[in-house]
Amino acid sequence: MIVGYTTGVYDMFHIGHLNIIKRAKQNCDYLIVGVSTDELVIKEKGKIPVIPYQERTAIVEAIKYVDIVVPQVDKNKMAAWKKYHFNKMFVGSDWKGTEVWNAYEKEFEPLGIEIVYLPHTDGITSTMLTSVIKNLNRE
């Protein structure tokens, strides 16, 4: 059985999020999705998510492609692997070639863990949605 793992904030859930999750599930038998906690988002992005963690988790849990949702409390992918024992880790193609993901590739290669870069959905981000909403409120 191929166990897949992907993570995200999933704030202001949109079609790009769904595309990643759906494509990940097409490449594994069992999909684990880590949802970033509010504390991690504040630490990493310096902002409070629009949608609270519990609600973001409920949204992701309701998606038919997701087998289980787990909290992402930090970005330590090796600790996640030790806990969840996945065979493949999925991330958007916009991360391919970055210093962070190049390091993950080197770290996971000896373990036989495949990092799969899935096509990024251009033209939509949660930041973009938040900006549109803020601009509507100003009118």
Catalytic residues: 45, 47
Give 32's contacts (C-beta < 8 A, 6+ positions apart): 3, 4, 5, 6, 67, 68, 69, 70, 84, 86
Q: For residue 65, which phi and psi values (nearest 5 degrees)?
A: -80, -15
DSSP assignment letter at 58? H
For residue 53, the SS3 value is helix
Which of 113, 120, 63, 121 lies closest to 94, judged by CA? 120
Tokens of 61: 């849990």
Residues 125, 16: contact at Cβ < 8 Å? yes
